[in-house]
Amino acid sequence: MKLYTRTGDDGTTGLFSGTRVAKDHPRIEAYGTVDEFNAIVGMVMSACRKEVAFEARLLEIFGQVQSRLFDIGADLATPEGANNSSKILRIEEHHVAEVEGWIDEVDGANPPLRTFVMPSGCELAARLHLARTVCRRAERLMVSLGQLEPVGAGPLRYMNRLSDLLFAMARQANHHAGVGDVPWIPAKPA
């Protein structure tokens, strides 16, 4: 099977349901950004070392997260009720609860948060912060799509929790690297 089909040469792409839409359709923007986020999660994983317990745990978590992100992409590519929709795993409350458990696990080891912190620190923390911002963009695009067409609540909640998880992980990565939170220092009015 060849990688190219030539069916998208006219600026359209096919959804799993068989429907064709413009490549800049809000649905494509949403699941394309989920795909981008998944690739950035891969970049985060490439900075984790298996021999460091905390980083090995991140690899375990992200292995599951990446699969769920593919599920979210399939969900977004296949509106409920469309052809083939019965073949799609939909994100449910137990998936969201799993992320909440990871947040509690990771954030429980963080020092109390006393101020807004900058998205910086060690390399792993910086990658996690970048992933967090792309996760938030994917979530915003899903909300925009939901104003035009139905989007399941499960994927929205999942993405919202993932951004919180990534923030907790970034703080924990800095803590493990001996780097303190970099506080936001607001400018003083003139």
Which pLDDT belongs to residue 165? 98
Euclidean distance between CA atoms 75 and 89, whole angstroms: 7
Question: Which CATH number do you get for residue 39?
Answer: 1.20.1200.10
User: Average pLDDT of the chain?
Assistant: 92
Q: What angle do CA 38, 94, 133 make, to 5 degrees?
A: 30
Please check whether residue 102 lies inside any domain of the structure: yes
Which pLDDT belongs to residue 102? 98
Please answer whether residues 44 and 128 qualify as being in contact, where contact means their C-beta atoms are separated by less than 8 angstroms.
yes
Q: What are phi and psi of 139, to 5 degrees?
A: -60, -45
Mean pLDDT of 12-38: 86
Write the pLDDT tens digit of every residue in 151-161: 999 999 999 99
Which pLDDT belongs to residue 2? 80
* Residue in 133, 132, 119 with CA at minimum distance from that of residue 174: 119
Please check whether residue 103 lies inside any domain of the structure: yes
Structurally, the chain folds into a number of domains equal to 1
Euclidean distance between CA atoms 164 and 107, whole angstroms: 10
Residue 143 domain boundaries: 21-108+116-176
Mean pLDDT of 79-103: 87
Asked if the model's pLDDT at residue 6 lies above 90, the reply is no
Report the percent of the chain where pLDDT is more than 90.
69
Mean pLDDT of 4-15: 79
Mean pLDDT of 23-50: 95
* Residue in 152, 162, 172 with CA at minimum distance from that of residue 99: 162
Please check whether residue 170 lies inside any domain of the structure: yes
Contacts by residues 67-72 (CB-CB < 8 Å, ≥ 24 positions apart): 68/95, 68/158, 69/34, 69/35, 69/37, 69/38, 69/41, 70/38, 72/31, 72/34, 72/155, 72/158, 72/159
Mean pLDDT of 58-78: 95
* Tokens (6 digits) for 82: 């469309």
Asked if the model's pLDDT at residue 36 lies above 80, the reply is yes
Answer with the residue of higher pLDDT: 102 or 79.
102
- Looking at this protein, which amino acid is placed at residue 127? R
pLDDT band at 131 (very low <50, low <70, confident <90, very high): very high
Which pLDDT belongs to residue 136? 98
Asked if the model's pLDDT at residue 47 lies above 80, the reply is yes
Which pLDDT belongs to residue 19? 80
Report the percent of the chain where pLDDT is more than 70.
99
Please check whether residue 8 lies inside any domain of the structure: no
Asked if the model's pLDDT at residue 141 lies above 90, the reply is yes
